[in-house]
Structure formats: structure tokens, C-alpha cells
């Protein structure tokens, strides 16, 4: 792998999609190769079924089966999507390992630390930099309320609050387990967004310059 893998994490409405779009636009302007990938591979039937149930908030199988299926999906995602894309440049993921860990912990009442450690065993899916958007819950809820799409599991205020707590625990375990950095910052205002984009953009530029020297 040559490019940097950047993961954007946080609850719905935190600003991940807006930040992703700004980074993609900036990369095009800078001439930096930057690909975008989703959270899942969708390459395993068992994992796909598990994803569907998790996203609906339904524990349709045992916690052990669900965790095993999601690790398998992450392994496939790394092999068939992340690694090939990283050979061409940087990759940005709008949700990745930590979102999956928190969803597993929430739906199956698992310790989030166990989920993080299990998924961190897939080295090719370890983000070089994880950005956790800690935007206030009230603002996130307001942004979601303005959307025309139907509300999904995890977007109600109570569940979003629990997810925010899980993310806070997850990033600590992630850093302790992998030694990789996590940038925690709110994306509540335009200055917040500008600062976050500038920080990540600088990282992408440094990675592109290193790759060119190699």
C-alpha cells in the first residue's frame, strides 16, 4: 500500500459527508489522487445479511456470529477495495471500522472494546488517521430533522447519544490497540469544517509528496 487511509467517524449528522465532499473537491483541485469507499464490502452473503440486520437495529444472530461476519466483511473490504485503491493514492472512508464496532456493540450489547480489538486484527483496514467528529448531539439531530429521507436506526436522540458514548470509548481503545492517531473535533461551524479540512488536506498532500519521491 502507498496511499494514506483516512476514516471519518461519528454519529449521523456530525458532518462526515460534508467533510468528505470538501476533501474530495480539494483533492481534485490539488491534483492529489483520492478515492472514496464505503463502510462495507457487500461481498459476503452472510455479512450482507448481518449488515442489514445491524442497520435495522435487530440482533438476528448471536453476537459471536455477527462479530465474525463483520470481521469477514472487513477482510474482504480490505483485500478487494482498500488495498487496490491505496495502490493508486489516498483513500477516504465515510465510516469504517469504528462505526462497525459501535454498531455491533449497540445492537448486540457487547463491550465496544472487544469489537474494536477484533476488527483491528485486520491490518489493511487500519486507518492511518481517524477523524471523530464530536459535533453536539442537538445540532446533529437538527441536521437530520432537515433531511427529506426517512429516519434510520441510530438517528433518534436516545440512540444517537448512546452511539456518541460508544464512539468516545472506541477511539481510546483504537489508539491503545493500534497506536494510530485519532483527531477528535466538532464540526458544528464553518470555521470547524475549514480547520478539519485543512488538517486532513495537509496530511493528504504530505502523503502524495512522499509517494512521488518513492
Residue 132's CATH number: 3.40.50.300
pLDDT for residue 213: 40
For residue 155, what are the CA distances in angstroms to 5, 108, 112, 159?
Answer: 27, 17, 19, 7
Which letter does DSSP use for residue 78 in this model?
I
Measured CA to CA, the distance from residue 169 to residue 112 in angstroms comes to 7
Q: Is 55 helix (H, G, I), strand (E, B) or coil?
A: helix
Range of the domain at 12: 5-213
Partner residues linked to 129 by β-bridges: 6
Is residue 214 predicted with pLDDT exceeding 90? no
pLDDT for residue 85: 96
pLDDT for residue 147: 76
pTM summary value: 0.93
Measured CA to CA, the distance from residue 42 to residue 130 in angstroms comes to 22
Give percent of the chain above pLDDT 90.
Answer: 84
pLDDT for residue 154: 87
Task: Look over the chain and give the mean of its residue pLDDT values, rounded to a whole number.
Answer: 93
Q: Report pLDDT digits (tens) over 169-210.
A: 999 999 999 999 999 999 999 999 999 999 999 988 887 665
pLDDT for residue 151: 78
Q: Are 127 and 74 in contact (CB under 8 A)?
A: no
Q: Any idea which residue has 502523503 for its cell?
A: 207
pLDDT for residue 182: 96
pLDDT for residue 212: 44
- When pLDDT is averaged across residues 159-165 and rounded to a whole number, the result is 96
Q: Report pLDDT digits (tens) over 41-75.
A: 999 999 999 999 999 999 878 999 999 999 999 99
Is residue 211 predicted with pLDDT exceeding 60? no
Q: How many domains does the chain have?
A: 1
pLDDT for residue 150: 76
Q: Worst-scoring range by mean pLDDT, 120-124, 127-131, 200-204, 208-212?
A: 208-212
Amino acid at each position: 500500500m502507498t496511499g494514506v487511509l483516512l476514516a471519518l467517524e461519528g454519529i449521523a449528522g456530525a458532518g462526515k459527508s460534508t467533510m468528505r465532499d470538501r476533501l474530495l473537491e480539494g483533492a481534485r483541485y490539488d491534483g492529489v489522487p483520492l478515492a472514496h469507499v464505503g463502510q462495507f464490502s457487500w461481498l459476503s452473503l452472510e455479512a450482507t445479511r448481518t449488515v442489514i440486520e445491524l442497520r435495522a437495529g435487530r440482533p438476528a444472530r448471536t453476537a459471536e456470529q455477527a462479530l465474525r461476519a463483520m470481521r469477514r466483511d472487513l477482510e474482504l473490504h480490505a483485500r478487494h477495495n482498500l488495498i487496490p485503491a491505496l495502490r493508486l493514492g489516498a483513500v477516504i472512508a465515510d465510516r469504517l471500522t469504528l462505526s462497525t464496532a459501535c454498531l455491533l456493540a449497540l445492537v448486540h450489547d457487547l463491550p465496544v472494546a472487544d469489537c474494536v480489538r477484533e476488527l483491528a486484527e485486520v491490518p489493511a483496514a487500519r486507518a492511518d488517521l481517524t477523524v471523530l467528529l464530536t459535533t453536539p448531539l442537538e445540532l446533529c439531530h437538527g441536521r437530520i430533522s432537515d433531511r427529506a429521507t426517512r429516519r434510520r436506526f441510530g438517528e433518534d436522540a436516545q440512540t444517537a447519544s448512546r452511539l456518541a458514548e460508544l464512539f468516545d470509548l472506541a477511539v481510546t481503545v483504537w489508539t491503545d490497540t493500534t497506536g494510530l492517531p485519532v483527531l477528535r473535533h466538532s464540526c458544528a461551524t464553518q470555521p470547524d469544517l475549514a480547520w478539519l479540512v485543512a488538517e486532513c488536506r495537509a496530511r493528504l498532500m504530505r502523503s502524495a509528496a512522499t509517494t512521488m519521491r518513492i
